[in-house]
Structure 1
């Protein structure tokens, strides 16, 4: 297990699924975690599990659609944590799914707002802390960032933009030792995957639930990225399914 004792982290979209598991694994590794959800109290069950395991975390309201309030929410979390070393932009939406001609432009815009603009606003607000603490940013990416998929115009476009934002963070943060990763967690058994199956819109919809990864696997890899062990991969896409990444982790664990 990577050692994150003394680190301070903020995780968005952490009410359930991958975000919740990342928050729990970060706390297990010793980090203090602001567990963020759209509404106050959304993440209390996650916080309670962390506390029961001896970790430190608190529920924190941060709505990715409220750009004008994100800065205050990030600063408030950082004050309570005593600083900020790590941002995990996990919050995201797959909707709207459908053919381009049938999509509502306002819903398309909302996807970009949550998946890209909101993620930018979180990093923007946390930039001073990240510069001071040689911080790290983990943006939850997807194979959809580089591979278009039928019915996912909004999602694919947003993830492609988030990938470029990640690269920009890595380049601009280099002078202050800020690292940024576009983390692809693979196909994970979450509510989002349930919505994809129900939509029955492309080949990902056909993936049986039993073939999906449990959320704890990408959560553990997120801890690895947060630990500094992968700093040489800053600015890159880090895919949990990549054999080279798996080999790198294996070699580090068995040194």
Structure 2
């Protein structure tokens, strides 16, 4: 399905990013893996190669402008073009009410989830232009609905959803489509302390807590659409509750 197509996935060393990268590679795509920690990233690349896939590794902090620019310069020098970017790097580790929180930690959440996606999208744009392609932002239901006690993550993901729509309007005529994927609750290393996998979610009774592999099929469906005629500026959700 994805033969001769190349995708860069941020936050690819674990969780949803790893699952999407592995699924793309299994479907014939060439995957470029990005994360801050080199050792687990190389472990993912080795696993993909053992399964017959093609993977390369780029170590970078997506919230650092210089590191992002250097990474995409290396991608351009090594490969020339991209067919897709998956902005997955993120997380929300500041879970305290305003006034009880740490402003530095609050801002770090916004920088990784929102500014990181902006930096990567900005740098990827010229690499996507020659053939057209996809930018897929991994969002959250918390970017569509307010919730007390985690304002940094809510604000960052709400901004990411607006950024998705704004960027879609800016690049559609270049054959680049920009969409959001809302996974719903997923059991990962980052959320293990919040909820266990399976039924039921502690806050939303209708929600089923998924594993990262459950998210990959929707990601691949979005990335398989023709970027010149397919959906853009849209949010695709796996949530089992209404979100605005």
TM-score, normalization: structure 1? 0.86
1:1-255 correspondence to structure 2 within 5 Å? 3-197=1-195, 211-228=208-225, 232-241=230-239
Aligned residues: 236
Matched residues in 2 for 1:213 and 1:107: separation?
Answer: 27
SS at match of 2:11: coil
CA RMSD of the aligned region, Å?
2.3
* 2:86 and 2:138 in contact (8 A); partners too: yes
Q: Give the drift of 1:206.
A: 5.1
Matched residues in 2 for 1:36 and 1:137: separation?
Answer: 15
TM-score, normalization: structure 2? 0.89
**Structure 2: stretches of 5+ with no match in the other structure:** none
Residues 105, 81 of structure 1: alpha-carbon distance in 2 compared, 3 angstrom cutoff: same
Matched residues in 1 for 2:69 and 2:201: separation?
Answer: 35
Aligned to 1:253: none
Matched residues in 1 for 2:30 and 2:160: separation?
Answer: 26
SS at match of 1:101: coil
Deviation per residue, 1:135-187 (Å, 9 max, x gap): 10010001111101111100000000001111111100111111011110121
Deviation per residue, 1:92-117 (Å, 9 max, x gap): 02111111121122211111110111
Matched residues in 2 for 1:153 and 1:64: separation?
Answer: 21
Q: Give the drift of 1:63.
A: 0.8
**Structure 1: stretches of 5+ with no match in the other structure:** 244-255
Deviation per residue, 1:8-61 (Å, 9 max, x gap): 110000111110011001111111111111033331111111111111001211
